[in-house]
Chains A and B, each alone.
Chain A
Amino acid sequence: MNATENSDRQWEQALATVLREQAPMADGASSLVGPSIHRAGRIRRRRQLAVTAAGVVAVAAVATPIAMGAFGRNNAATQPGTSVSAPASGSVSASAPGSVSASVTGSAPATSAASSPTTLSIAALPTGAAPKVTWIEDQGRMAGNSGTSTIHFADGTTVQTPFWARRAAVFGTGVIAEDTPNGAQEGPQVVILDAKGKELDRFYGRGPVASADGSRVAVWRFVKAGDSKVQIFDAKTGSLTPLVDTTWNAEGGYGADPIGFVDADRVIVSPVTEGGTPVPMLVDMTGTLTPVPQLAWVAAVAPSVHQVVASTYNPASAVVYSFDGTPTMLWSTTGQTPEALSADGTLVVTSDPLVDTTGVRTLTVTKVATQQVVATFTVTSFAGVVFEDASHLVFEANDGTAGGLLRCSVDGTCELAVKGTVDTATASSGLRVTTTK
């Protein structure tokens, strides 16, 4: 061994010694079992909000005519100014890699009574029409860390984005969308594209969500360490100058996530954190932030009736809250996770709570007014449940071999609206779905 090698060896040994001596400074922590399981639930919910990688993404439950330019859209029937549907509710769905994955068992689709859950075998489902909600398919997701997306608006028009879009809304003659470069390693970013696909702005943040009439979109914007904002833009004009530009001052976590407009002038925003007891905020057009301590996590919004479905901390339950006047609880249940709310606020969808990632799970549709369960669906991996209309749900699901966007009626029947391809090779992040049509 020469002198250089000897010196290198000394440095390596010194480094190893330092690391061994430092490591015990971490000893003595209390058990992380409970906090970790609790955090797993938060991660799962966040994945459902499309922060993480998604294959097929159903984006919007509320169809709202607004004008949009022709950028990138390949539906010849749609010209600039034609009515298209804009994401409005913020009820975004995504496949949640690794969150749920066991095989679906049971019969082919069949009509069932509420007391008889519909157990789904995806491969056996009949094929239905494309969803009348906005949804997103990714290209190249299984191949690496970059790719493109096709946003399918509810009227059948499509927009290509040169990145994986998570959420999207019409913005002026272009599009505003959320991008997560390099998968989960990079923070989500909001990108504004003009009608020709030129990037007008890009910043760290989350969103957008659009108001019911599509005239406004809200985003959360990370400015710099310790400084972030909630911004509301005029989506009709596509102006890059926000109508509202207010400091987000909630404590802790990884910033915020706009969930949806509860009416024309107020957007509800959830803090993004994996611990603590974050409180959602209502942000109005004056920029005022009003805490909503009654709620823990808002899952979906029904803007026409100013209602939300959300979870609460104590007791842990799913609730439907009205923000029409004094906030009022309309419905609650325990032991369920909130998923979706119909546009008229009459039906609520919940799921059994997270017990693991691979077990078969049940979606339950309940009438808010009467507590009557009208339908239950037993599924495996699912994400992002949205109402397509008053009686149909759309959500992404896969069973490890088959997957796609499913449409299920409250009468218990289901069909495959968009066929996907399941990625069985993903080692650590679970299953992903991309469309093949």
Chain B
Amino acid sequence: MDTGHGTTITKTESRGRPHDADFTEYVAARQGQMLRFAYLLTGQRAEAEDLLQTAFAKLYLAWGKVDVESSRDAYVRTILVRENASTWRRLWRRREQSVGELTDGSAVDAGFVSSPHESFVDRSLMWQCVCALPPKQRAAVVLRYYEDLSEKATAEILGVSVGTVKSSCSAALRALRTSITASEGGPR
């Protein structure tokens, strides 16, 4: 079967053994981008790696059913979003944080230098506010404004309607605006 992505997958490969080489190739090619996505969902690098390991593991388990690379990307994003939103994971994340694992503030502290002259809002403050969004709202804005996915594609990953995507993004932007305005006295 020609996947349209330059590789030919035989029936045996698509329904049978996933070929670790293919999986390795996929992970090598997509880990970087997916890890960025996971980081934007979690705000913690360690948590992002843990989340992505789970998503890749589930992709590995479903390898024969997810044939083409674009579908694999969507599959991994879906797992990342839904796993990150799981109640269970959030409960345990609170536990981990309660015993001393700090939220990764490196971006704010070192790597991310707010430059008021380049933006009409304090971007470090905005990132903090993004991190405070509920998981599903946060996923919606990351998919729409970072991954640049359509509302339809975003809805499919989130498992909601297009209308819900619109309302989630609107609510997220409203929350960001309210928080930043309250903290800063409005946009610069």
Instruction: State the B residues within 8 Å of A (CB).
Output: 15-18, 20, 23-24, 27-28, 31-32, 35-40, 45, 48-50, 52-54, 56-66, 75, 78-79, 82, 85-89, 91-92, 94-95, 98-99, 104, 106-107, 111-112, 119-121, 123, 126-127, 130, 141-142, 145-146, 173, 176-177, 187
Q: Known: A19-B130, A356-B16. Is A32-B145 also a contact (CB below 8 A)?
A: no
Which residue on A lies nearest to B38, using beta carbons? A26
Kindly specify which of A9-17, A209-217, A324-332 makes contact with the partner chain.
Answer: A9-17
11 contacts between A and B (CB under 8 A): A18-B126, A22-B40, A23-B37, A27-B35, A31-B28, A32-B56, A43-B61, A101-B15, A204-B91, A358-B17, A427-B65
For the complex of A and B, list the 10 residue pairs with the smallest distance between their C-beta atoms, beginning with the closest: A26-B39, A187-B88, A36-B56, A358-B64, A23-B36, A39-B57, A19-B146, A40-B57, A225-B94, A225-B95
Please state if B15 and A11 are interface contacts (CB–CB under 8 Å). Answer: no
Q: Known: A16-B145, A19-B40. Is A186-B87 also a contact (CB below 8 A)?
A: yes
**A106 contacts B by Cβ under 8 Å:** no
B52 / chain A contacts, CB cutoff of 8 Å: 32
Please state if A357 and B60 are interface contacts (CB–CB under 8 Å). Answer: yes
A242 / chain B contacts, CB cutoff of 8 Å: none
Please state if B64 and A187 are interface contacts (CB–CB under 8 Å). Answer: no
Please state if B123 and A26 are interface contacts (CB–CB under 8 Å). Answer: no
**A197 contacts B by Cβ under 8 Å:** no
Please state if B28 and A357 are interface contacts (CB–CB under 8 Å). Answer: no
B98 / chain A contacts, CB cutoff of 8 Å: 225-226
**A25 contacts B by Cβ under 8 Å:** yes
Which residue on B lies nearest to A19, using beta carbons? B146
Which residue on B lies nearest to A186, using beta carbons? B87
Please state if A19 and B50 are interface contacts (CB–CB under 8 Å). Answer: no
Please state if A11 and B177 are interface contacts (CB–CB under 8 Å). Answer: yes
Q: Out of B45, B145, B176, which one reaches A26, CB within 8 Å?
A: B45
**A335 contacts B by Cβ under 8 Å:** no
Which residue on A lies nearest to B115, using beta carbons? A21
Q: Out of A12, A16, A18, A36, which one reaches B53, CB within 8 Å?
A: A36
**A103 contacts B by Cβ under 8 Å:** yes
Please state if A33 and B24 are interface contacts (CB–CB under 8 Å). Answer: yes
Please state if A358 and B27 are interface contacts (CB–CB under 8 Å). Answer: no
Q: Bound state CA distance, A153 and B31, in angstroms?
A: 47
B32 / chain A contacts, CB cutoff of 8 Å: 27
Q: Bound state CA distance, A188 and B86, in angstroms?
A: 11
Which residue on B lies nearest to A355, using beta carbons? B17
B15 / chain A contacts, CB cutoff of 8 Å: 101-103, 358
Q: Bound state CA distance, A312 and B38, in angstroms?
A: 32
Please state if B92 and A14 are interface contacts (CB–CB under 8 Å). Answer: no
Q: Out of A20, A356, A360, which one reaches B63, CB within 8 Å?
A: A356
Q: Bound state CA distance, A98 and B35, in angstroms?
A: 23
Q: Known: A185-B87, A275-B50. Is A26-B36 also a contact (CB below 8 A)?
A: yes
Nearest-neighbour CB distance to chain B for A97, whole angstroms, equals 8
Q: Known: A186-B86, A222-B91, A357-B61. Is A18-B18 also a contact (CB below 8 A)?
A: no
Q: Known: A11-B173, A39-B53, A187-B91. Is A357-B145 also a contact (CB below 8 A)?
A: no
Please state if A25 and B18 are interface contacts (CB–CB under 8 Å). Answer: no
Interface size class of A (residues with CB under 8 A): 35 or more
B75 / chain A contacts, CB cutoff of 8 Å: 428
Instruction: State the A residues within 8 Å of B (CB).
Output: 8, 10-12, 14-27, 29, 31-33, 35-37, 39-40, 42-44, 98-99, 101-103, 184-188, 204, 222, 225-226, 253-255, 274-275, 355-360, 427-430
Which residue on A lies nearest to B43, using beta carbons? A22
Please state if B127 and A27 are interface contacts (CB–CB under 8 Å). Answer: no
Q: Bound state CA distance, A29 and B54, in angstroms?
A: 15
Q: Known: A26-B35, A37-B20, A357-B61. Is A32-B126 also a contact (CB below 8 A)?
A: no
Please state if B106 and A37 are interface contacts (CB–CB under 8 Å). Answer: no
Q: Known: A20-B146, A26-B35, A27-B36. Is A430-B62 also a contact (CB below 8 A)?
A: yes
Please state if B88 and A186 are interface contacts (CB–CB under 8 Å). Answer: yes
A19 / chain B contacts, CB cutoff of 8 Å: 40, 130, 141-142, 145-146
Please state if A225 and B57 are interface contacts (CB–CB under 8 Å). Answer: no
Nearest-neighbour CB distance to chain B for A203, whole angstroms, equals 12
Q: Known: A10-B120, A31-B31, A33-B24. Is A18-B17 also a contact (CB below 8 A)?
A: no
Q: Out of B53, B91, B146, which one reaches A23, CB within 8 Å?
A: B146
Which residue on B lies nearest to A8, using beta carbons? B173
Which residue on B lies nearest to A253, using beta carbons? B92
B40 / chain A contacts, CB cutoff of 8 Å: 19, 22-23
Nearest-neighbour CB distance to chain B for A18, whole angstroms, equals 5
Nearest-neighbour CB distance to chain B for A100, whole angstroms, equals 9
Which residue on A lies nearest to B42, using beta carbons? A26
A12 / chain B contacts, CB cutoff of 8 Å: 145, 173
Please state if B127 and A22 are interface contacts (CB–CB under 8 Å). Answer: yes
B66 / chain A contacts, CB cutoff of 8 Å: 428
Please state if B106 and A25 are interface contacts (CB–CB under 8 Å). Answer: yes
Q: Bound state CA distance, A26 and B104, in angstroms?
A: 10
Please state if B49 and A358 are interface contacts (CB–CB under 8 Å). Answer: no
Please state if B23 and A33 are interface contacts (CB–CB under 8 Å). Answer: yes
A187 / chain B contacts, CB cutoff of 8 Å: 86-88, 91
B18 / chain A contacts, CB cutoff of 8 Å: 356-358
Q: Bound state CA distance, A212 and B130, in angstroms?
A: 52
Which residue on A lies nearest to B74, using beta carbons? A428
Which residue on B lies nearest to A400, using beta carbons? B15
Which residue on B lies nearest to A255, using beta carbons? B92
Q: Out of A8, A23, A43, A429, which one reaches B39, CB within 8 Å?
A: A23
B54 / chain A contacts, CB cutoff of 8 Å: 39, 43, 274
Please state if A40 and B35 are interface contacts (CB–CB under 8 Å). Answer: no
Please state if A356 and B64 are interface contacts (CB–CB under 8 Å). Answer: yes
